[in-house]
Structure 1
């Protein structure tokens, strides 16, 4: 069954609970979404509040995918680039699909929905994201049409002695 997508859902306890639970579950399953397991919702909450503030200011937009039970099963945050010479592209952050739904094509659905949503932004011609090397995420994004445009070796320190590349990818929307 396909996900149902909602752009800019109303903020509130239900949204917070759904996103925080998803984020913790993805992180604890080894997902490269800014945390290293073990992590709980209280560890993630400060980052959620940062995203929430950016959403309230209109700098960031949230796209959620809900499963057949109405639970938040996928997210992507889309943030405008504020540099005056780079407003023609946006950032995609915190791309997540719940581990129980992986392998069902939901990640591909999420990325297609994110691209469709980004096309509604005035003047936006591309989506840029970064991903942690060594996870296979770069291959997944490439299969969704993203091109690797840069790589910073060892930029992400997952643990002592475990440094990963920061892979920069771009999806032209035109």
Structure 2
């Protein structure tokens, strides 16, 4: 299923936010664009799941395929932003179906193409995920883990997320370059 979301205007370009809730909703062209975006972001040093550039495009494509194959309305949704018909960014919103934690969801792989940075696309994706989580998935809170030291705490903080904890030095990007993993929560939605 594909659902077109609210449009948010930022400057001259108008991003369109769409969610996908099943594997058959993702065209081959979109799957390719998702992998290209992820490779671009990772190779530029982005904190989106592949921390050691340059990344292997085959590994990225396999990771995208796992996300797309796992799409399901109750547990995993893909939120994509397009500008002028081209992919501008995306994220994966997931929930664990176990009854103990089924009331919260997690944001994964929030990323935007480099050419649209600073245009509000990332913030729009996170806002769309919040609305979907609250209004369609009946979630009560969202969580995420962010790499410390790259400004993500401030980015998510502006969107209402609060730091819930840190794992000091949990992420080793290179010898002598250990970063905190910052745990953040948005509650209530």
- What is the TM-score normalised by the length of structure 2? 0.85
Asked if 1:5 corresponds to 2:5, the answer is: no
Deviation at 1:57, TM superposition (A): 8.5
- The aligned runs of 1:68-79 (5 Å cut-off) are 68=84, 70-79=85-94
- The aligned runs of 1:83-102 (5 Å cut-off) are 83-102=98-117
- The aligned runs of 1:4-153 (5 Å cut-off) are 4-8=16-20, 10-35=25-50, 36-55=52-71, 59-68=75-84, 70-153=85-168
Gaps of 5+ in 1: none
* Alpha-carbon distance in 1 for matches of 2:137, 2:14: 28
* Alpha-carbon distance in 2 for matches of 1:171, 1:85: 18
The alpha-carbon distance between structure 1 residues 122 and 38, as it changes in their structure 2 partners (threshold 3 A), is closer
* Alpha-carbon distance in 2 for matches of 1:125, 1:72: 29
* Alpha-carbon distance in 1 for matches of 2:62, 2:74: 19
Tell me whether 116-125 or 22-31 shows the greater mean CA deviation.
116-125
Give the secondary-structure state (helix, strand or coil) at the position aligned to 1:73. Answer: strand
* Alpha-carbon distance in 1 for matches of 2:15, 2:169: 35
Structure 1: 4+ residue segments shifted above 6 A = none
Deviation at 1:50, TM superposition (A): 2.0
* Alpha-carbon distance in 2 for matches of 1:90, 1:155: 22
Q: How many pairs align?
A: 173
User: Does the CA-based 8 Å contact 1:115-1:173 persist in structure 2?
Assistant: no
* Alpha-carbon distance in 1 for matches of 2:73, 2:166: 31
- What is the TM-score normalised by the length of structure 1? 0.91
Gaps of 5+ in 2: 1-12
